[in-house]
Structure 1
């Protein structure tokens, strides 16, 4: 769990952020003193300066005091004693309200971290014997649901998506995937014809978590819907429950601008 404070360097327009988040951090490689880790997670953030048409019109990034935080941070650690070590990390962060209120450009920003850590309770790392690869291919289905503002006052409408993909596990940590998504976004003028978009993806596969980064192309869409964009990204964080069922969240974005955050339910079939 993380508690953090962030100053954007502009007290009048952007202000400060206070966040509470959870993360998971698999160890990708380890020697006696060195280790390479990959931390990723999500949480909530409080922003003390948001958009207001009269008092703060220049802030096009944030329009809700309570927003979402997503981050990924590879880290290199060196432990020089049983109790002490140091850490160098490169963080990539995204803050937005997931399309719940406009304007919502959101903000993507990198950070460089350098720190010390002290182990209150140090335990020995278990020794594992290398095993042969398990499942190399698997495919799955996934559905997402959220609500978005229509631009007509505070009225909100459903946005529903259905995706299918095939994933090739390259090793126990990484996988490549291809698939397609259909989306019914009723906030965009009440259209009943779905958006269809094939995508390519990379996935981190550490244990019961899967973090995917997808690049999708708008193959078909109703007239006037996202007409300024040809591609979009979707970042998906899923947690494996039981018997192949997954739950999680995803963020859809056009470049640096967040479109919506939804909740996901999926099922994975092994081959």
Structure 2
């Protein structure tokens, strides 16, 4: 369930606007690239050149909501893609995605877009302890997706555009099971878009305004299950409690600071199975942790893309790096109620995929 939440919130948000009139496009991509060697433990797999195809529906937002005009009327994409990883140990990937393409620059016949995307990934040949134990990249049949893309659109006529792009696709199970190295695919794609529907000519009135509250305080409770070592393979529960203060900067950005408590039974089990002796007495260290963090929220109306950087101020076990990061999506369902899905990492190593609910004071 936790592995689907990144995609679910984003998909619900995107489809909430489909009642309006938009320009709709059908986009196809031919995919070719390589697997990134992001650490030494995947060097035996990062030696192939994946290929694939992608088909997506795209809608151009029309400025009805204030943030749409603020971002120069971006594209929202719903895609399905196939990757042949050209390695029998890795198999094939089928990816369902939702993404927003933000225009960085537009002219009459060209445009440059930056994509933020997420979704779900189905793997045909994940890790298996008995039959496929060398695949330490893709551990679960269903994993989640993070994707960025830089697209240069060249308009050929009113209907057809070329869309070459550079793309980075990351698939991981968020430490649901070990090993959890993840797969990172860098590709150069060649694509083409065809306009299948044009919006009706109409003036946009009664623009929906953004929330510009100068200061906000959140109390967020999140949790899930994860595993940290091959010795403790069964996922165990964890929960976090965050008190977070946020300041409005501009219609696109908020900055904040927070204090966070971590309670992980997987870390507790890791400490228990690696206990040590002091003066001949077996002693188990405290598994609880606390951290201070700073964060940024990139806002798209009620939806926000969050990035946070934290420092442990209490971590007796010392089994982690002192610094951690978090990337995720936050949606404000109500004036006071919000939901969040996120990935907490130590550098390039994911620790846990989180789902949470919070209250805004």
Common fold by TM > 0.5: yes
* CA displacement 1:243-264 (0-9 Å, x = unmatched): 2322231111222222221212
* The 10-residue stretch of structure 1 (178-187 or 215-224) with the greater mean CA deviation from structure 2: 215-224
* CA displacement 1:116-135 (0-9 Å, x = unmatched): 21111122585689x99933
* CA displacement 1:208-265 (0-9 Å, x = unmatched): 2111122222221132542xx1222211112221223222311112222222212121
Name the CA shift for 1:141/1:90 in 2 (closer, same or farther; >3 Å): farther
| Count of equivalent residues | 265
Q: CA RMSD in A?
A: 3.1
CA contact (8 A) 1:234 1:250 kept: yes
1:140 aligns with 2:218: yes
State how far apart, in whole Å, the 1-side matches of 2:309 and 2:316 are.
20
Structure 1 position 19, deviation (Å) = 1.3
Match of 2:98 among 22, 28, 32: 22
Higher Cα Rg, which structure: 2
TM-score, normalising length: structure 1: 0.82
1:222 aligns with 2:316: yes
Q: Gaps (5+ residues) in structure 2?
A: 1-77, 270-284
Name the CA shift for 1:37/1:206 in 2 (closer, same or farther; >3 Å): farther
Bigger strand share: 1
1:7 aligns with 2:7: no
CA contact (8 A) 1:186 1:192 kept: no
CA contact (8 A) 2:268 2:287 kept: no
Match of 1:102 among 160, 168, 178: 178
1:164 aligns with 2:243: yes
Structure 1 position 5, deviation (Å) = 1.0
1:116 aligns with 2:192: yes
* The 10-residue stretch of structure 1 (133-142 or 65-74) with the greater mean CA deviation from structure 2: 133-142
Bigger helix share: 2
* The 10-residue stretch of structure 1 (14-23 or 35-44) with the greater mean CA deviation from structure 2: 35-44
1:175 aligns with 2:254: yes
Question: Within 5 A, what are the aligned runs for 1:38-117?
Answer: 38-117=114-193
